[in-house]
């Protein structure tokens, strides 16, 4: 059974065990009547009897499902009335949604507290063909200078990539990819022993070489497509970013249709996080990323950003990369990726307000300032700050 609610088709599996979703309230037909902030739970068959409504809670019951929305506290009280496995599941998901993710833990024991301040990941593409900065930093000396500049501007981590994954890009042989990134990571580690470095790769062979050279985090845009990746990451004890992508960069934009975009990306990330857990990678070492621009239409990217809050139900920190991407150019009518700063900052702030805790960006100084401001407003009024 399927039901359209404001453009999103929900799968309601009749007769199966209860499934429960937490959704952003703009999806709901009665969103305008709800207090903010609100949450929603969509519960499929077997639906429990309709409870006595809690104040502030909106309930919609149809044959086989129950949709409940309202402030988190009212939903929590509702969940208390549900017995057995259903109640347990509802309470676990609700708690996960409300709780900020645990700090991210690095192999050397340092933790990143992500609840209060978003982190900035500066992009360093050591490639001849990246969509925005291809060919600008492909000599180790210019790459190092660019990384140093980003560190000075406030980057918390430098993401080094040796293969463009822009739409239509051809794959690069792992040896060539490693030959591009290793000298840069080597130099960066030598000159800045304490800086955080991420390796942006889909291949375990490249990740291993990068970790040997001093990288601290693996950013895998294929989310463990290489069967050797999970074991490597587990063995090294480094954090891993799992990103959603469908198909290969060369052809991924040929089909950007989904039956249920948010639901499919959510299910994919949950499944890949399970594989990572199974390989021995603990939750405090996993980041998830909906993969903006990867096998998505321009509107699909906007839908994901608007509904980013749904991904909080995974209970893992969210990393998001919107910087200079083509959906921003389409919306703002700016052809050149370099000219998309305004749209990029706006999308990064929207992502932060939706729950993103690490933003992958080209323009570090401007992003740092925009995110610091947005974080301050998100937390306002801060308990320790004067309001007079």
Which residues contact residue 226 at a Cβ distance below 8 angstroms, ignoring those fewer than 6 apart? 202, 203, 204, 220
Residue of 325, 340, 357, 368 with catalytic role: 325
Determine, following the binding rule CB under 6 A, whether residue 44 of this chain makes contact with ligand HH2: no
Which residues in 226-265 contact ligand HH2 (CB under 6 A)?
241, 243
Binding test (CB under 6 A) with ligand HH2, winner from 360, 363, 370, 371:
360
Among candidates 51, 24, 54, which has minimal Cα distance to 39? 24
Residue of 285, 340, 360, 368 with catalytic role: 360
Residue in the structure block whose two tokens are 């948010």 = 262
Determine, following the binding rule CB under 6 A, whether residue 161 of this chain makes contact with ligand HH2: yes
Binding characters for ligand HH2, 265-294, by CB under 6 A (x = yes): ------------------------x--x--
Smaller CB distance to ligand HH2: residue 315 or 337?
337
Which residues in 71-110 contact ligand HH2 (CB under 6 A)?
none
Determine, following the binding rule CB under 6 A, whether residue 302 of this chain makes contact with ligand HH2: no
Among candidates 12, 16, 21, 77, which has minimal Cα distance to 313? 21
Smaller CB distance to ligand HH2: residue 216 or 289?
289
> Residue 221 phi/psi, 5° resolution?
-70, -10
Active site residue 325: yes
- Smallest distance, ligand HH2 to C-beta of residue 321, A: 2
* Residue with smallest beta-carbon separation from ligand HH2: 321
- Smallest distance, ligand HH2 to C-beta of residue 201, A: 10
Q: Residue 260: exposed, middle, or buried by beta-carbon count in 10 A (0-12, 13-18, 19+)? A: middle
d(CA 364, CA 387): 30
Smaller CB distance to ligand HH2: residue 241 or 262?
241
Q: Are 348 and 373 in contact (CB under 8 A)?
A: no
d(CA 187, CA 190): 5
Give the tokens for residue 223.
């989310």
Active site residue 166: no
Determine, following the binding rule CB under 6 A, whether residue 301 of this chain makes contact with ligand HH2: no
Which residues in 111-130 contact ligand HH2 (CB under 6 A)?
123, 125, 127, 130
d(CA 60, CA 29): 10
Smaller CB distance to ligand HH2: residue 165 or 367?
165
Determine, following the binding rule CB under 6 A, whether residue 181 of this chain makes contact with ligand HH2: no
**Contact footprint for ligand HH2 (CB under 6 A):** 123, 125, 127, 130-132, 161, 164-166, 200, 219, 221, 241, 243, 289, 292, 319, 321, 360
Catalytic residues: 325, 360
């Amino acid at each position: 059974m399927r039901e359209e609610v404001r453009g999103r088709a929900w799968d309601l599996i009749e007769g199966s065990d209860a499934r429960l979703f937490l959704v952003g309230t703009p999806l709901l037909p009665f969103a305008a009547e709800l207090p903010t902030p609100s949450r929603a739970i969509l519960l499929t068959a077997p639906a429990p009897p309709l409870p006595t409504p809690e104040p502030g809670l909106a309930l919609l019951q149809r044959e086989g499902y129950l949709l409940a929305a309202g402030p988190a506290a009212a939903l929590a009280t509702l969940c208390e009335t549900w017995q057995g496995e259903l109640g347990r599941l509802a309470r676990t998901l609700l708690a996960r949604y409300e709780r900020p993710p645990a700090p991210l833990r690095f192999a050397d024991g340092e933790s990143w507290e992500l609840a209060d301040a978003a982190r900035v990941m500066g992009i360093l593409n050591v490639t001849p063909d990246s969509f925005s900065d291809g060919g600008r930093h492909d000599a180790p000396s210019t790459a190092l200078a660019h990384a140093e500049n980003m560190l000075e501007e406030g980057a918390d981590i430098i993401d080094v990539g040796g293969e463009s994954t822009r739409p239509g890009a051809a794959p690069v042989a792992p040896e060539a990819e490693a030959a591009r990134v290793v000298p840069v990571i080597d130099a960066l580690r030598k000159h800045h022993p304490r800086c955080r470095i991420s390796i942006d790769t889909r291949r375990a062979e490249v990740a291993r070489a990068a970790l040997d050279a001093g990288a601290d985090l693996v950013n895998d845009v294929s989310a463990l497509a290489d069967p050797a990746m999970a074991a490597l990451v587990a063995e090294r004890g480094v954090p891993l970013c799992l990103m959603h992508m469908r198909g290969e960069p060369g052809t991924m934009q040929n089909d950007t249709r989904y039956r249920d975009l948010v639901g499919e990306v959510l299910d994919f990330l949950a499944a890949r996080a399970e594989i990572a857990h199974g390989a021995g990678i603990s939750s405090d070492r996993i980041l998830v990323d909906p993969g903006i621009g990867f096998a998505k239409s321009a509107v699909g990217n906007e839908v994901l950003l608007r509904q980013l809050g749904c991904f909080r139900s995974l209970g893992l920190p969210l990393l998001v990369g919107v910087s200079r991407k083509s959906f921003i150019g389409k919306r703002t009518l700016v052809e050149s990726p370099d000219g998309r700063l305004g749209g990029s900052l706006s999308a990064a702030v929207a992502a932060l307000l939706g729950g993103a805790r690490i933003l992958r960006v080209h323009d570090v100084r401007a992003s740092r300032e925009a995110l610091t401001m947005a974080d301050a407003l998100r937390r306002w009024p801060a308990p320790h700050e004067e309001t007079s």
